[in-house]
Each structure stands twice: as structure tokens, then as C-alpha cells.
Chain A
Amino acid sequence: MSDTTRPGHAPAVPTRAGDPLAPDGARPVDLGRLRERLSQQRGAAYWRSLDELAETVEFQEFLRKEFPRQAAPLEASFDRRDFLKLLGASLALGGLGACARPPQPHEKIVPYVRAPEDTIPGRPEFYATAALDGGYAEGILAESHQGRPTRVEGNPDHPASLGAAHAITSATVLSLYDPDRSQQLLQRGSPRSWTQFAAAMADALGALTDGPRLRLLTETVTSPTLAAEIRALLAAHPGAAWHQWDPLHADGAVAGLRAAFGEDLAPVYDLSRADVVVSFGADFTQVGPGRLRYAKDFARRRRVRSADDDMNRLWQIESTPTPTGSLADHRVALAPADVAALAAWLARELGVADAPAAALPARVEPSWADALAADLRDHRGRSALFAGADQPAAVHALVHALNHELGNVGHAVRYVAPVAAAPALHHDGLRDLVADLRAGAVELLVIVGANPAFTAPADLGFADAMALARTTVHAGEYLDETGRDATWHVPSTHALEAWGDARAFDGSVTIQQPLFAPFYGGKSDLELLQALLGRPERSGYEVIRDAWRERVSGDFEAFWRRSLHLGVVDGSAAPTREVTRRPLDLTLPVGDDLVVHFHPDHALADGRHANNGWLQELPRPFSKLTWDNAAIVAPATAERLDVRSHDRLALRADGVEVIVPVWVQPGQAPDVISVALGFGRAAAGRVGDGVGTDVYPLRTAAQPWARAVRAERARGRHRLATTQIHHSLEGTGERRHIVRAGTLAELRQDPAHPKFVHPVTHPVSDITPDWTYDSYAWGMVVDMTVCTGCNACVTACQSENNVPIVGKEQVIIGREMHWIRVDAYYRGDLDDPSFYNMPVACQHCEKAPCEPVCPVAATVHDAEGLNVMVYNRCVGTRYCANNCPYKVRRFNYLQFAELAVNATELSLAHNPDVTVRSRGVMEKCTYCVQRISSARIQANNQGRRIRDGEVVTACQSACPSEAIVFGDLNDPASAVVAAKASVLDYKLLEELNTVPRTSYLARVGNPHPAVTGASAAAPAEAGTEGVL
């Protein structure tokens, strides 16, 4: 038995046979099984006993007793904090060796900013690669500290990102190190090696009889190289078929394009050229290919600093409140069938003669609809219409017809050849697959990435059908619901661990590079396909390089370096394709009395991120729900069903009953019950199992997004955890002037002193002397006009600043730790309110109320204007938090950051530049002081001042709307000084004379002059917000 700690080799095996640590009478360990496990370990896997290796229950018990620190027995008071259980449970430090080393020397990867020879210990490197959303690439820059990825930001050079990152993308580093990820190749639960798997596959493929015996089920594939591999596999096995399954796939979009143009296309929007944007159920800044780019372009056309600026107008027709819809100048909440009816009405009104006839839905005021039509007529060629992913084909077709009719094609909208390798109707494809499985025709079913056992529509009975295939192979990052039932399970790599390529919404290709060797082992999809093609030894690196070597001419190495460095292949964006419209033959969906409407969860998507604690605890827009999904109902519907928030509602359809807690949400369409998919996982991992309610059983293949339902109050109540307590202002809200909002017209009436920005003046009397700043004076501006409340800032801050999560019970008590939160306010009618998002972090007051009251001077003003928190001086009186009017201070009531002090996998996701706070100390936003320090050191070394834009806070960098501006107030040319010079600039609670350094730009709306009434985004009287 050899002893080696070299990565990639079998680790040490102790020679003693009997293990003194094994409890008497313990189950004997299966040595054959252990050898299999060891052969799969990557990196330096240290272990101490055979029981440890076997991860027996007895050993886990022993571990808890022997190492109470790791088992954290005293943490039992917070039951929901499954997260902490990870400590005691996972001692497998395997892979640490891999993380501390760069990838295998023969696989060169290229750092984004600096060449490897410049590597300076303590200075992070950035690598350009891509994260996938629904199969589509979003360019990212992954920050790596000595070979350890800790943070993901958007890649400014990537067309789908332009530097922004979605909330889920920022949270991906936590998933990367998730100890619940699958770490072992399994055959029916027994460990096997890659070689054994490859041999078994060769046998199975060789033994295939003729006919459709081989089936491949993937998610949406945009990767040219993976698609080529799949085609090669299909070609090698005649009759084999490829299906795709993504429960969130917009089948309606594919079918709608086919209906409108007769071919597969991909629409690409350029919102910088749209004066009017109309969205039929599309949350286009959050969902779908191009979301970040659209958010950025939309915000750039919307931002107002003075009366001279122009802004676009958004009409949003949707069923449930979305971040995009919260910015709407005109928003109407309609049932899904009514959305389609309004689209058809509008199409007819605007001259699409072949649109189906439809009456105007009852909830839409005729004057409102006329104004919408007039607005589009007035902006021919300068508007853009969207249809949401959950809309039926008819709405998509009507939207394309409208864009065509209004002359938007070629301006704000263009069409390109499909970005997906094989556009398909996923629900139809899955139905075909299940039919074949039931017919017993499938011998080998290979599922790559997808989790259909959990996500497939319940009426298909996929899980049962899967058992009918002779052999099933599942490749996934987790041993999930599908993987558990498959014959073979192959651990997949994370996006930051593998070579690959993927295309963005506009067709641009990114070659994905790994930041380190697979942390938990695992094979990329490219490597899996190679095994099926009979070449199991080929690495992803070889595959991807060979594939691209064939595609490019000229100097390949130069191309390779440049593409990796930039994060996007030059000139790979798809060219515009001319389209000709076909006559429409559409049927509109029929409405029902009460419908259940499914939507992807804002943080968990289809449920794949369920084991990510940051995302579970991310407050969902408006409701601020965490750790649960809910049946979102309108106040009127709640009255009708006789339910209140936290009640339980039984949803019944076709004999299926699902009981979901209720959340009453202003702005929800009446008689529509919206439920988020992705909760109630059975095999997500220790964090995500059993959180929330699984609503997939209600979904059918024919009606995947909305269907009729019966609802009835069920007994009992379910305590939902929200980060904002929702109640009325009890009559005094209108005088608080927290949110200030007006219209562009009001701004133009009084360009110098718009009344809505400063509804009252406050005399200032102050006896304390002002601070003076010789060097820098940092400040921030938040633009409320473009903030969608999408939470990108929240997870970005969480990742950058090592902000812990606390679990559902602690959220209920009110101890969530987020340094930045997005406050939601409503104004106007309960059924059709206006939505306001206000991101609030520490305001860094000049006259900070927290500073004088701290008895030990643990929070003090620094020479650059920051209100700094000295963690090791803090004794935890919490007086500062009481005295903070913004309530941005967060206290470590318990050891929330326990993970940090133990060498567990998750602590590797921590930013080494930021202190991890222990229990008993206060913390809060620092304006990313570590980034300021880093920039200051660099500037000082070069003998200059920090340049404007050199310090970018984490929240600012992630924000897709560019709503956050940060910089030096002492630099008259800085962007932040320009923003603060705006007449819209105001300070939150300025009457308290705290003189915050963060200020807000008042929300400006641009309602159509012909529309008045409740659905206008900003009524004339300013500052009358209310919280429900």
C-alpha cells in the first residue's frame, strides 16, 4: 500500500486492519466498496479510519462526540439551520490539495488581467468564462485567489453581460464548493470507476439492437462542440434520438416563431433603440436569454438626471408582479388568457389583419388600451414588444407580427439563426420519450444535466417510465431525484471546473475555461459524450481545442489566447437574418374562473439551486419571502377564498392536490394563483431538501404554465419567513417621504426644483463641526428610476463580504444578515399598485448616529468619510443598531459564520480579503472597503490618485441596471459627483440631519399623457407611499 498525496492519485491507506475507533458491533465495512471510492478521489484525500471512509452512521456518531466543535451541539437551538450540519457531517477534506494547485500543467488557461508570471500572492486573478442560464451563456469573470475561485462577476466584454451578473450567478461559488454535490460515480448505488463506466457503456452501445434503442436527454444545448459530439453519437447509432428537457424552456417562443415566420429563429432586441417597450408577461430583465443585456440597455434609455433627459416608456401586461413590471409606467395585472386576448386585440387594432379577433379584457380600461395603441402608433420603428417565456405560442406569434407590423424589425428587434443547437418543443419531446419508454423500445437512456424525475409534468409519469429502460445513465452535479433512480450516475463538473463552450442570446460564443481541477471529481458533459463515443480517456481540454482548431483558420494559439482572455470569440455573434412573415392561424387560450400560474423561482429557477443557502435565503422581490414558496394571490382573491397570508391553500386539479401556504400580494392578477417552481425537493441536499412545496405535480405537459384549478383553504397555518414585515402604515405613511417619485412631465414643469423631490424643507441646525477630507471622500448614489429590485446586489454583496445566512427560523425572528436589502413599497390601489424598489445599505452618514453611542468606539468615522466598523473592538452592546434610523446594522446573535472557523469546503468560498465575523459583533456595509484599499495601494504604488471608476463596489458591479454609482466626492469630475448634482438627488431621512453619503435619485416615471388613474406609475401627488 503506497502513501501519496499527489493530486489525482490514490491516497494513503493505513495498514492496520482492525480499527480501534470502530464501535463494537458496527456494520462491517465493505472493502471492495472502499477501494472503488478511493479510486475516484481527486486531490489529497486524508482519512483516518475505514469507517470514516465508508461514512458509516457509527462513524458520524463518533465524529460528533469526538469533535463537538465541528458537530456544534449547542447550535441545536436553531433547528432550521441545516447549513451548519454540514460542519459535523463532512470531514472529507479531499480535494483541498486540488484547490491549492493550478490545473494540470499541460492545460494552459489564460488569466484575464495578468499573465500567470505576474501572479502576486494575495492579489486575485480574474478569468473570463461563462455561466449558463437555460443553456445560454452569460459572460463572467471569476476571481481566483491562488487557484481558489471565490467570486463571480459579469464580464464587461461579453455582450450578454456587459459586466452585470444575475443574483444566481453571483451565488454560484457557493454551489461550487457545496459538499452535497455528487462526488462518486455510482452503478445502482455502488461506487465504480470511470473506466468501468466507459467499459459498461461500450458494452451497452455495442449490444444495441436496431431501432430507436438509444435515447439522449439533455437540457437546451447551445454549445457548438457538445452539439457536434451529440450529432456524432446519433450518427454512430442509427435510430438513436435526442430529446431536450428544461422545465422552464419557452416552448411558446419556439412555436410562436414557427407560426409567425415558418422557421426556427432567435429574436435579438436592442432596447437602446426603443422608445416604447411593451411586455406581454415578459420579465425581460430577469428571465430568458439576453436578460442582463436587456436590463442594461433598457436602463440606459430610462435614466433621467435632469429635465433635458429623455426616457423610454414601459407598458407591462403580466399576471404576477415581476421586477421588470415594477418599473412599468403602465402596468395591468391580467389572467394569462386575458394577456393573450389583449395581445390579439392590440394586434388587430394596429393592423395585423390575420390576428384572431378578441374582445378587450374586462380589467383593461378602453382608454388605457387606446393609449397603448396610440403610443405604439406614434413610435413606429422605435418600439419593442416582448412576450414572456410562459406565454403560449399565440402571444409570441402576435408579438412578432406586431413588431413586424410596427416596423421594429431591423431596429429594436432583429432575428438571427437559432442560437440553440436544436430548437425544440421540450414538452412534446419529453412526451415522445415517455411514450417510447412505455412501449419498451428504449434500451439505453442517457440523461445529461436534466432532472426530469423531479421536473417533468406529473401527467407524463416520467419517473415510472424511466424504470422501463434497460439501462439509464444520469450525469448531474447532484445525486438528485433522477440520479437516485438511474442505473448509472456520473458526477458532473461545475461551470467553473470544466472546459466547454456556449453561445449567448445573440449567438456569441464563449469558450469556458476551468479555474481549477474538478473539486469533487466529476466529468464534464463533453467528456461524458466522449465516453459514449468510445474515447473515455480524452479530456475536455483536448476535445474543445480540437473542435476549435477545426473551426478557425490562421494562428490557432493566438486565437485561443485571445478568445479565452476576452471571454468571447471575436465575430461570433450571429448575423441578422431577413424574415418574411407567414399568415397567422392562431387559437387563443381560453380563460378559466380560477387558474394556477407557474413561474420559475426568482432564486432557485427550476429547483436546481435549491441546495444553495444564499439563494434559499434571498428575499424574493416584493414578497421578501425566503426559504419557502407560496401561493401568491391578489387581495381580492384572498377575500374570495377566505384566506390570509400564512394560511394554507389546497390546490386541486384532476385528482392531484397540493397544499401551499398563501401569500397575499398587491398587484397580483385577480383569480390567478401564482406558484414558484423548484421547491419541495426530495434529493437536493441537506440545505434544500423539503424546503417549500413541490408544485410540479400540478403541471401538465399540455398546460405547463397555467391551468384551471380549484382552491380551498386547508386547515392549519404555515409560518412563512419574510425579511420585511408587511403591514399598513396605519395612517401616517404619507408624511414620511421615504420614496420620492414623480413624472417626467412634473420634472419638466419645474426643472430646477421639482416639488416631488423635496416635498418639504427641513431647517438644519447643527452644533457638531463638519469633517474635512484631504484625500478621498467616498459616496454613493442609487437611482430609483432604474432599480428593478432584482437582488443582484444582494448576492453579490453576500459573496464579496462573506455575509452568512441564518436559516428560516432566524429570518422569522428577524435576524437576517444581508448588508444590502431592497425595500419594497407600494403606492395607490391595492389591486393595481405602483411598485418602488429602494436598495438600502449603510448610508455612511457624516453625522452618523451610531458613532457617538458606542461605548468602546468600535464604530468610527474614517479619514475618507467611511463609517467603519472595528469588529475586534466590538463588544456587542447593539446601541448603534438602535440608534441607526436606517436599520442597516446586522448583529451576529449566534455563530452564524461558524463555517469560517472550520476547514470545511464551504469556507473556501469566502473572500480572503474580508474578515469573517464571529458571534457577538455588529457588522454592516463597508462600501467594500477592501476594494478601496486595494485600489489605494495600487494608486499609491504608481504615485497617483485613485481614478474615477477604479473602485467598483460589489453591488454596483453586479447591478444590471447600473442603478448604483460609487466614487470619490472630492473628485469634481467623478460620475458620483455628477449624479449627486442632479435635481433628483435626495437623502433618505434627511430631516434627521444624519447627512448620509449615500443619496437617492427620485423615481421618475413617464406615463402616457392620455392615461390617468390608478395604473399610472406616478400619480401627481408626491411621496404618498404605503407598505402593505
Chain B
Amino acid sequence: MAVIAGAPRRGLETNRVIAPGQTAGMIDDVVNTPVLVGPQRTPTWWWLLFALSLSLLGLYLVSIVRLVTVGVGIFGNNQPVSWAMPIINFVWWIGIGHAGTLISAALLLFRQPWRTSINRFAEAMTIFAVVCAGLYPILHLGRPWVFYWLMPYPNTFGMWPNFRSPLTWDMFAISAYASVSLLFWFIGLIPDLATLRDSAKSRFQRLVYGALALGWNGSAKAWQRYMRAYLLLAAISFPLVLSVHSTIALDFAVSQVPGWNNTIMPPYFVAGAVFAGFAMVLLLAVPLRRAFGLERLITLRHLDNAAKLMLATGLIVVYGYGVELFYAWYSGVEFEVFMAYNRVLGADHWWAFWALILCNFVAIQPLWFRRVRQSPWALFVISIFVSIGMWLERFVIIVVSLTKDFLPSSWGNYVPTFWDWALYLGSFGLFGTLFLIFIRLLPSIATTEMKELAHHDAHHGSDAYETIREAYYRGEVRA
């Protein structure tokens, strides 16, 4: 901390949520123009990435066809490892899906102005990650075609789902999260869609964006209602950020598998989700600001703040690892003790635990340094580590716990198959395809909010204004 406190400020740009001298026109140029250009002017890198994503999506679809026709046995799952890669990937994706809503809703409620330039694509990321995540629990079912039996709906069986099962809670939590996130994202898009409509180059664009803009007219009344709705949705979304992953954590905490049966699971999972989410935000933001030339809108201040949150949540997660091991010992239960031993030193999977410590603990330590936090490519590399680490964390919790539980006679092992990896890599294709379509056809930065920020910056003096505004929110200054 001393390093940060004592360090001299490295210039205006690093400390601002928007570069000085931005105007509404500049923002339109940099954000909206690439969206509205014709297909022939789509950048080459986009086509290359899109082709890659589409081929991975093809792999995903092939895997699903194989899965449905042959059965869930194409994966490496067995007795005793009934849950394996599909569930790991599910938890991994849903964790990634946390940062978007946290940035949009929580930071909006806390009036953090630095959320503005990254909230749009982070929300998109959230929705696409939830899509990727949500498909896994269905696909890993033995009979995926009857997944809807988990929902309470009037049926001729006269059967409700079992409300005692955490999987039923999951179904509610994920569907609620997905729908609220989608709604929140769309509401935020409306003024920007109207801008696109108004500056559309062709009749087709005008029609499509116009329809999506729902007749936005920019009147004061519209703005007033819009702002109120947006704030309300933010208030609704915020608890969901905490509840979704807590509920998923209950899948494990409610069971009695050693290594799953821990009360710490919900908060630990939420911290892990935010951790993984910010890693993914950075993984996307760093190339995105470069590709679209958004350095003036997504500033180093944004990266710095995201990195700080990543460090903080990462340390909470590492604390969680410590607590798990401590309680394994403190409980005195032989099964828990063995689980801890097996996780850390067991012959089959010790490597997973130590790789996890490397990725989630050792690799984030450089984030204590401002120089690292403000170096986009360093953050990019660390974020890759964190993403791998969070995948390994789920592997250690889910698979390693299941391989050796109560009766040694039933211990087993787990080896992923080609199709396990195919469905995982394929989900990147799904995510990438959706995300690339998003950045090509929709503004990946909330231009209206940015213009507001630019306006304040221009007319009220940026640093001074911000300082006063922040002081205002702290209650030190009265209007």
C-alpha cells in the first residue's frame, strides 16, 4: 500500500475515466461509425476471428449431436465421478458471467463513474457467458430432452419438481439471472440504438435499429422514465449477483461429499465468480480497446480498477482455500482430513491443486504494483492465468473430491475424453460468435453515458469536477 500511496501520479491520462478533450462527435466516430459501416469495410481481424469462432461453434454443434445420439457416456464421467467437465465448465462460465452485472448494477448503485465505458461489453459478456453456462446442465443430463421437468409447470403427471433439491434452485437462479441481465442490457441499449437509427446509412439499418429503439424520442420525459427504470433494474440485478453463485455453491454445500460439504461455499464461490469475471473483462477489454482504438474511452484507470478488484477477490478466494483445509483438519472427520490430504498431496491430482495455487495466488501478486496494473498486456497474461486457475479450482472441488470419498472400494479416477474437450472448446466458439456479432452490430460502449461524461469533462473541468463529485457522493460537499 505504501508503494501506491507514495507513488507520484503518472499523468492525467492514467487517472481519468475518460481522456481529456472528448466530444460527442468523437465518441460517435470511434464507437458508432464502425458499427454502421457496410460489410465490405469490416476489418480483416474481425473476419478471421469470426471464422475461428464459427468453426469452434461447429465443433460445439457436432459435439451436441454426438451427445444426443450416443449419450452422455461420450464424456469421461463414471462411477464415482458422476459430475465432471460439463459441470466444471458450467460453473466456470457462470462465474465469468458475474462481472458484467456487478459492473453495471453494483457500480451504478455505488455511483462509480469508471463503470461507464466498460459496462456495455461486460454486460454482453455476462449474457453470452450465461448462455454458454446454462446449456451445460441441460447437456450433461442423461436425458436432456426432458430437462423441462425441472420447471414447475402444470402437467399431466401431477408432479412438481422437488423443491428440496439445489438443482431446482439452480434452475430458478440461472433463469432469473439470465432474464434480468438481458433486460438490463437491452434497456441500457435503447438510447444508443436510437442514435444508431438516427445516423443510419441505409434504410435497412434505420428499420432494424429503429425497431429495436422502441420509438425512443429523447424527450425529457423519456429520459426521466428511462433513468428510473434503469436504476430499478440495477437494484433488482444487484442481489442476483450474489444469489446466483451462492445458489450454485449450494449444489455442493448441501451434499455430503467431503470437499463439497462446506458452509463457506456460497461467499467463496461469489468471490471466485467476481474474480473470474474481472479476469474475463480484462481479457476482452485489452484487445478491444486496441482493435477499435478505444484507449481514450477505456483508460488505464479502468484497467487499474478492474485489476484492484481482481486482486481483492482473488485474495478472498485464496483465503477460502485456506479455510477449507483448516476446517478439514479442525473437523476431525477422517473423510474430510483425507479429502484435504488427497487434494494437496494425493497421488492422482496433487498437480491440479498446486497449479491452482500458482494461477490464483502466485500469479496475481504482481497486481500489488501500479506499473503492472496499468500495463494492459501484463493484465492480459495474468487474466489468462486467473481464468485457467478458476477452471482448475472447479476441477479440484468437483472431480478430485468425487474420485475418493467414503468407501475406498468405490474410489475411482477421471480422464476427460475428446468430447469433453470438444464441448468445452466449442463453447468458446458459441461465446466468440455471439460476442463478435455484438461488437460488430451494436455499440460496445455506452455512448450516451460517455457523452454525458464528456460533457461534464468539457464544461465542468474534468479532474476538479470529478473530485468534487466524488466528494459530493461521500457526503462531504453539499450541492
- Contact surface of A with B, Cβ cutoff 8 Å: 74-75, 77-78, 724-725, 727, 729-733, 735-736, 738, 810, 813-816, 821, 823-825, 838, 840, 849, 852-857, 873-879, 881-883, 885-887, 889-895, 919-922, 988-989, 992, 1027
Contacts and interface: CB of A to CB of B under 8 A. Distances in A.
A878 B341 contact: no
B150 A77 contact: no
The residue in B73, B80, B146, B254 that gathers the most chain A C-beta atoms within 10 A of its C-beta is B73
Interface of B: 69-74, 76-83, 137, 140-143, 146-147, 149-150, 157, 159-162, 164-168, 171, 251, 254-257, 260, 334-335, 337-338, 341-342, 346-347, 402, 405-413, 415
A815 B142 CA distance: 14
Given A854-B165, A885-B406, A920 B71 contact: yes
Contact of B142 (A724, A821, A922): A922
4 A-B pairs with least C-beta separation: A876-B142, A920-B142, A893-B73, A814-B78
19 contacts: A78-B73, A732-B341, A813-B78, A814-B412, A838-B409, A840-B407, A855-B150, A855-B165, A855-B167, A875-B146, A877-B142, A878-B77, A881-B82, A885-B406, A887-B79, A887-B407, A892-B71, A893-B77, A894-B70
A202 B433 CA distance: 81
Contact of B80 (A876, A887, A894, A989): A887
Nearest to A989: B406
A732 B409 contact: no
B405 A885 contact: yes
B131 to A, nearest CB: 20
The residue in B140, B255, B260 that gathers the most chain A C-beta atoms within 10 A of its C-beta is B255
Contacts of A814: 78-81, 412-413
Contact of A873 (B149, B164, B341, B406): B149
A855 B142 contact: no
Contacts of A873: 149, 157, 159
Nearest to B334: A735
A744 B79 CA distance: 37
A895 B71 contact: yes
Given A729-B408, A893-B72, A875 B78 contact: no
Contact of A921 (B143, B161, B171): B143
A890 B79 contact: yes
B164 A920 contact: no
A876 B143 contact: yes
A992 B256 contact: yes
Contact of A874 (B76, B142, B150, B171): B142
Nearest to A857: B162
The residue in B78, B254, B260, B347 that gathers the most chain A C-beta atoms within 10 A of its C-beta is B78
Contacts of B142: 874-878, 891-893, 919-922
Given A854-B167, A894-B71, 11 more contacts: A727-B347, A733-B408, A735-B334, A823-B410, A840-B407, A849-B255, A854-B162, A855-B167, A875-B143, A877-B167, A881-B79
A446 B407 CA distance: 54
The residue in A730, A873, A886, A989 that gathers the most chain B C-beta atoms within 10 A of its C-beta is A730
Contact of A857 (B76, B161, B338, B341): B161
Nearest to B408: A1027
A856 B341 contact: no
Nearest to A734: B334
Contacts of A730: 338, 341-342, 346-347
A840 B409 contact: yes
Contacts of A989: 406-407
A893 B419 CA distance: 14
B408 A878 contact: no
Contact of A886 (B164, B166, B406, B413): B406
Contact of B257 (A729, A840, A882, A920): A882
Contacts of A78: 73
Contacts of B74: 77
Nearest to A76: B70
Contacts, number: 180
Contacts of B347: 727, 730
A883 B143 contact: no
B73 A894 contact: yes
Contacts of B73: 77-78, 810, 815, 893-894, 919
B82 A920 contact: no
Contacts of B335: 736
A881 B72 CA distance: 15
A852 B162 contact: yes
A886 B405 CA distance: 9
B83 A887 contact: no
Nearest to B157: A873
Contacts of B337: 732
B70 A74 contact: yes
Contacts of B255: 849, 853, 879, 882-883
A876 B141 contact: yes
Contact of B76 (A724, A813, A886): A813
A762 B166 CA distance: 28
A875 B80 CA distance: 18
A1027 B409 contact: yes
Contacts of A988: 407
A97 to B, nearest CB: 35
A918 to B, nearest CB: 8
A146 to B, nearest CB: 32
B405 A887 contact: yes
Contacts of B82: 878-879, 881-882, 891
A874 B408 contact: no
Given A855-B167, A857-B162, A815 B143 contact: no
Given A882-B255, A887-B80, A921-B143, A74 B405 contact: no
Contact of B166 (A75, A731, A853, A992): A853
B253 to A, nearest CB: 12
Contacts of A921: 142-143
A730 B403 CA distance: 14
A855 B161 contact: yes
A469 to B, nearest CB: 51
A74 B69 contact: yes
A330 B112 CA distance: 78
Contacts of B405: 885, 887
Contacts of A1027: 408-409
A915 B185 CA distance: 49
A879 B165 contact: yes
Contacts of B143: 874-876, 920-921
Contact of A881 (B80, B162, B171, B413): B80
Nearest to B414: A814
A840 B409 CA distance: 10
A873 B79 CA distance: 21
Contact of A875 (B147, B402, B407): B147
Contacts of B164: 852-853
Contact of B407 (A823, A877, A889, A922): A823
Contacts of A874: 142-143
A320 B127 CA distance: 62
Nearest to B150: A855
A855 B171 contact: yes
Contacts of A729: 408
Given A725-B413, A730-B338, A883-B257, A857 B159 contact: yes
B285 to A, nearest CB: 36
Contacts of B171: 855
A732 B407 contact: no
A856 B147 CA distance: 10
A885 B77 contact: no
A86 B82 CA distance: 29
Contacts of B254: 852-853
Contacts of B166: 853
A882 B402 contact: yes
A824 B159 contact: no
A895 B335 CA distance: 34
Contacts of A77: 70, 73-74
Contacts of B76: 813
A85 to B, nearest CB: 16
